[in-house]
Amino acid sequence: MRLLGYTLLLLGFAWLCYMPITLFSTVNPLIHEQMIKIPVKESYSREEVDGAIGISVDTFAEQWPSFLAGALPMLAGGIILDFAGRRRRVPPNTALEPTPTAP
């Protein structure tokens, strides 16, 4: 049971570490695509800039990998490790032994 908990914990942590590595491959084509769409001018109006930023943010939000894919296994692994640790800490049943009485 502890092995399963540690495995889930490590897999979730590995996924959360892997996410930033994959973001570059997600963001780079997005930036290139937006650079091609914007015409080359001396100056840009506020509406043009707001529109380009809004489209970029919306497109990026659609392609963003979910952190829950790594967080939920980590949560499950932590809960399993907690239960496995509690099961070991249960004291033996000493109710049948005589208790000392005060004089």
What are the tens digits of pLDDT across the range 28-83?
787 788 788 887 888 888 888 888 888 888 887 777 777 888 899 999 999 998 88
What are the backbone angles phi and psi of residue 17, rounded to the nearest 5°?
-75, -30
pLDDT for 75: 94
Length of the chain, in residues: 103
Asked if 73 contacts 15 with a C-beta cutoff of 8 angstroms, the reply is yes
Q: What does each C-alpha distance from 99 to 90, 93, 94, 96 come to in angstroms? A: 20, 13, 10, 9
pLDDT for 91: 59
Measured distance CA(16)–CA(65) in Å, rounded: 10
pLDDT for 100: 66
